[in-house]
Amino acid sequence: MSLPEEMNPNPAEQAFNESPENHNSTASTATSPDHWGRNRVDLSKVTAAVEEVRQELGKVIVGQTALIDLLLVALFADGHVLLEGVPGIAKTLTAKLLAQTLDVEFSRIQFTPDLMPSDVIGTSVFNQKTVDFSFKAGPIFANVVLIDEINRAPAKTQAALFEVMEEAQVTVDGATYHLEYPFFVMATQNPIEQEGTYKLPEAQLDRFLMKIIIDYPTLEDEKNILRRFRKESKVDLQKEVKKVLSPAKVKACRELIEEVFIEDHLLDYIANIVTQTRSHGDLYLGASPRASLAILRSSKVVAAISGRDFVTPEDIQYVAYPVLNHRIILQPEREMEGFETKDVIKDILAKIEVPR
């Protein structure tokens, strides 16, 4: 998995390479907590779990390695993901298959213009036998929730997700209902079609740990897709994807990732990046402290799945774009000139001195 060149302030330095071994060699110049170069935290459970999921998804998904790895980063960082891309590039399929590798309850919600908040979180229903109201849980009460075309629902339905995505709980008629662990939301949206869609409010976007922009497959991946499905159907291959992660295993991995070390000067580096978004001349809105925490959590996961128990600047640079791109807003004149958020983030990363 490699950092997109346009997002890398120094194209010669790669935050990720295709193999974890190459990533480790890139980071070998960083200072480890153990001066003998050994990990103080045994991360074999994390790397083994990641490899198992990759292998299962690889039975169906061709390419999209960056997408798969970022989804795993979000899962282990206890965050939610917004997937954006044109139709037909396996956004929904990848999200479904990732859920299939987890031994948890899965729910899929198709957002539509007539969807009501109660259709998502649930509602109180009058029980004639008990002559009382009882709560009927909605489809959001699952461990992994796939929200397809989230921008098809109106603002009031999108707002119903605020509490549940931030606190993993729902409050209805004064009563609070907690969701089971783990709770992971993956939402998709199509950036092309605007008719019949509703722009997600900034408060809603900020609750997504990452926004992953998915592009078309390469020519070689396209050829491999055709070869793979020449004889077997997609449905047949999907049945071969096995459950490899339990809630207990996810929790154990998250606890190990919490032990990943990050030095103070790297915390300052994260703070400088996020603070620069608030004073950059091309931006109307900068990122909040929630973005700083998101970069911190995500970079620790990136280090862990690479087999390291310490964070490097490359880990921070790698997650900066997916964490920040939906949290900042361009000045209207810059947007009209064709600027994109990735241009601003690239500029910020290039200007700030990389700590070593």
Q: In which band, very low, low, confident or very high, does the pLDDT at 29 lie, cut at 50, 70 and 90?
A: very low
CA distances from 243 to 78, 223, 294 (A): 19, 28, 28
Q: What is the pLDDT of residue 145?
A: 94
Mean pLDDT of 199-227: 90
Q: How confident is the model at residue 8 (pLDDT cuts 50, 70, 90)?
A: very low
Give the pLDDT confidence of 291-346 residue by residue, as tens digits.
999 999 999 999 999 999 999 999 999 999 999 999 999 999 988 988 899 999 99
Q: Which residue has the higher pLDDT, 250 or 36?
A: 250
> Rounded to two decimals, what is the model's pTM?
0.84
For residue 247, pLDDT over 70 is answered with: yes
Domains present along the chain, CATH in parentheses: 1-43+261-356 (1.10.8.80), 62-259 (3.40.50.300)
DSSP string of 289-315?
HHHHHHHHHHHHHHHHHTT-SB--HHH
More confidently predicted of 128 and 222: 222
**Which residues, listed in sequence order, are joined to residue 84 by a DSSP beta bridge?**
189, 213
Mean pLDDT of 125-142: 87
What six digits make up the tokens of 287? 């990122």
Strand boundaries in 216-336, DSSP class E = 283-285, 329-330
| pLDDT of amino acid 37 | 52
Please give the single-letter amino acid code of residue 44. S
Q: Name the 3-class secondary structure at 266.
A: helix
First to last CA, the chain: 23
H-helix or E-strand containing 347? Answer: helix 341-351
Give mean pLDDT, residues 157-168: 90
